[in-house]
A and B are shown apart, each in its own frame.
Chain A
Amino acid sequence: MTPIGRIFHSLGIFILKRKVGQQLALFFRTIASLFASNHNFRNDSRNIILQTFFTGIEIFPPLFVVATLFGTVTIIEVISLTGKMGMSDFVGNLMVVLLIREMGPILTAFLIAGRTGSSLTTYIGGMVINSEVDALATMGINPIRYLVMPSVIGGTIATIIMNIIFSASAVGAGFLVTKGIIFITGNAPNVQITWGYLSAEILKALTLPDFVFAIVKPLVFGIIITINACYQALNIQRDIRQVPKATSRSVVTSFLFIVLADVVMSLFYFISYMQNLSMMI
């Protein structure tokens, strides 16, 4: 090896030995397998749609309940707090920041990591233990294309759809439950609220970046969850005790990566705040 070649070799091995590097490599190989020479569009799209439904429909009931109750709590707290502090103009802004911008994508991603990520890890991990993945490879079927690619694309699509449903049900169903609580308890929280007021405030506060990030955030989170789940599963050595370990590792590291990615993406908003501040000054 020439000196330059040795530098690149050691750099490559250094990156590929790290878990993050291997997951990145798995992601790129997944994307590359989409364009493999013998692609079969009908089979692939069927697998992807199946995975989307699997991810979406199974997660819908808990997600709907969590979104509704979280929305209720947020609406009551925000309206009563801003009313006390005399900042009623910021109701819409606070709701958008809390529900749509930050907590919506994160809670959706956590639910999907707990439900779909863990089941993906056990599913593929079981196949690894039974050497079904080896059998696939010896039949010339790329395991990354057959197992990982549909899960990643289907899971990501489902995460995006579920994020939109979360935001919608947090505001819509959350408002209805708030009204129910006011009706039952005789307005114990002391909140005056109408649908017209709430929707007008929220629509006023929504900006273009909010819509863009409503797609981009769940996209990134979905890729992180599914790639991480598949990576942990394919990494299992031939030992049945490794499957539950890999499952819990997949969920916990997914949570960690999701929060890290969220902080990185939130830098966009911080930068725009700074620009607003400097413009005001």
Chain B
Amino acid sequence: MLDEALRLDDVYLSTSELSGTPFSVPRAVNYFENIKASENNEDRLLLAGMNLTLKLGETICIGGPSGKGKSAILRMIAGLARPLKGHIYYFGEYLPVERLTALEVAKRQVGYVLQNAALISNLRVVDNIALPLRYHRVGTEAEIQKKVKMAMDLMRVRNFATMFPHQLSVGMQKRVAIARSWAMDPKLLLMDEPTAGLDNYNRRNLLPLIDNMRTMFKTSIIIVTHDLMIAKELDCNLVFLDDKKLTEPHSFDYWLHSDNEISKDQFRDLQANSMNI
């Protein structure tokens, strides 16, 4: 268990957790309400009996049809949604559901790139990247500046450093969001659709960066994506969300050549292409 970055054991998640995280209400209230509401209501379950194990330094891609709760898995791992039942272990440490908040999870160096980037709209790009570093006082101001410059160079957003987020395109915002997460040195990085809205050139630049992160910094990465070729290019395992559960992890080639329902749904075009070749 010590070599595991993340372990989800028999996790149940209800749909009522998706309506946002009210930071104004003490979480105890929601917790007891939710358990009461969903005790005997099967329809409201988004995930039922889900299992996932991620080794340290491993990368995994989660695929599946849209609207089945892939992003909800990441929200739950990031501590923004609270499971009804089940156990979640971060780096071998069990966090009980009562203490599973986003702040507690962030303390364990878990980074999260949201689907819509969610940059703070009244801060410039530089300040956006420096915000968590300044808040947690990671080193002196000069060190923070150096780190921010490095992150901007890696994601090629240096030329846009003094712009506001609304002046950037969606793909640019996403790159800034990844730079912001990278600057915090996460040990486990959750990425929601990192390549959506990126052109081919920048997508090709992003993939080696992810590759570098896992080889140089031993970062464990979970990617939720519809772009299944990522799994092939990063040479990582793919799991699919099916029937409120995650399937066993297998490689891209296994899924491509296997003969089950999921492969037929998700790989139809690719399978047809490979037949032609």
* A pairs with B: yes
Interface of A with B (CB < 8 Å)?
Answer: 12-13, 16-17, 22, 25-26, 38, 40, 43, 126-128, 130-144, 146, 230-231, 234-238
B135 touches A17 (CB 8 A): no
Partner of B121, one of A130, A140, A142: A130
User: Given A132-B119, A140-B132, A140-B136, are A237 and B102 neighbors across the interface (CB < 8 Å)?
Assistant: no
Cβ-closest chain B residue relative to A22? B25
Determine the residue in chain B with the shortest Cβ distance to A130.
B118
User: Residue among A16, A127, A140, A230 with the most chain B CB within 10 A?
Assistant: A140
- State whether the Cβ of B184 lies closer than 8 Å to any Cβ in chain A: yes
Q: At the interface, yes or no: B134 with Cβ under 8 Å from chain A?
A: yes
**Chain A residue, CB-CB nearest to B29:** A16
Is A25 a contact partner of B20 (Cβ separation < 8 A)?
Answer: no
Give B1-51 interface residues, CB cut-off 8 Å to A. Answer: 19-26, 28-29, 32
Listed A/B pairs (6) with beta-carbon separation below 8 Å: A137-B80, A137-B106, A138-B80, A139-B184, A234-B22, A238-B20
Q: Is the CB of A25 within 8 A of B26?
A: yes
Considering only CB atoms, which chain A residue lies closest to B177 in the complex?
A: A135
B125 smallest CB distance to A (angstroms): 15
The residue of chain A having its C-beta at the shortest distance from the C-beta of B105 within the complex is: A138
Is the pair B23, A144 in contact by a Cβ cutoff of 8 Å? Answer: yes
**Interface: B194 (CB within 8 A):** no
Contacts of A139 in B (CB 8 A): 106, 111, 131-132, 135, 180, 184
B172: interface (CB < 8 Å): no
Give the total of B residues in contact with A, Cβ under 8 Å. Answer: 37
B114 within 8 A of A: yes
With A13-B32, A137-B103 known as contacts, the answer to whether A131 contacts B116 (CB < 8 A) is yes
> What is the interface of chain A mostly: helix, strand, loop, or mixed?
helix
User: Which residue of A17, A128, A133, A138 is within 8 Å of B78 (Cβ)?
Assistant: A138
Q: Which residues of chain B have C-beta atoms less than 8 A from A40's C-beta?
A: 134-135, 137
Q: Which residues, 50 to 100 on B, are CB-close (under 8 Å) to A?
A: 78-80
B118, A128: Cβ atoms under 8 Å? no
Q: Are the CB atoms of A134 and B26 closer together than 8 Å? A: no
- B107 proximal to A (CB < 8 A): yes
Total contacts A-B at CB 8 Å: 105
Bound complex: CA A144 to CA B121 (Å): 18
Give bound CA distance, A128 to B121, whole Å. 12
**Complex alpha-carbon distance, A128 and B216, angstroms:** 35
A140-B103 in contact given A130-B118, A237-B19, A238-B20 (Cβ < 8 Å): yes
Residue of A nearest to B21 (CB): A134
B240 within 8 A of A: no
**Which of B101, B131, B184 is most buried by chain A, counting CB atoms within 10 A of its CB?**
B131
**Which residues of A sit under 8 angstroms from B80, Cβ to Cβ?**
134, 137-138
Is B112 close to A, CB under 8 A? Answer: yes
Query: In the bound complex, how far is the Cα of B106 from the Cα of A142, in angstroms?
Result: 10
| Residues of chain A contacted by B114 (CB below 8 angstroms) | 131, 134-135, 138
Q: Is B120 located at the chain interface by the 8 A CB criterion? A: yes
Given contacts A131-B116, A132-B120, contact A137 B21 (CB under 8 A): yes
A133 near B116 with CB under 8 A, answer no
Q: How far does the Cβ of B15 sit from chain A's closest Cβ, in whole Å?
A: 13
The reply to whether A142 and B116 contact each other, CB–CB distance below 8 Å, is no
Residue numbers in B under 8 Å from A234 (CB-CB): 22-24
A178 to B163, CA, bound (A): 52
With a cutoff of 8 Å between Cβ atoms, the chain B residues found around residue A236 in the complex are 20
**Complex Cα gap A134–B192 (Å):** 14
Q: In the complex, A234→B114 CA distance in Å?
A: 19
9 new A-B contacts at CB < 8 Å, known A22-B25, A127-B121: A13-B28, A40-B135, A128-B20, A135-B119, A137-B80, A138-B106, A139-B131, A141-B131, A231-B24
**In-complex Cβ contact of A22 among B26, B119, B131, B180 (8 A):** B26
A123 to chain B: closest CB distance in Å? 9
In the complex, which of the residues B78, B106, B135, B184 contacts A43, with contact meaning CB atoms closer than 8 Å?
B135
**Closest 8 CB pairs between A and B?**
A140-B106, A137-B102, A234-B24, A135-B118, A138-B112, A139-B132, A238-B20, A235-B24
Given the complex, which residues of B lie within 8 Å of A130, measured CB to CB? 116, 118, 121
Which residues of chain A come closer than 8 Å to B111, judged between CB atoms? 138-139
**Are B102 and A134 closer than 8 Å at their CB atoms?**
yes
Known pairs A13-B32, A131-B118; A146 contacts B135 (CB<8 A) = yes
135-161 of chain B: CB within 8 A of chain A: 135-137
Least CB distance, A257 to chain B, in whole angstroms: 16
A230 to B22 CA separation, bound complex (whole angstroms): 12
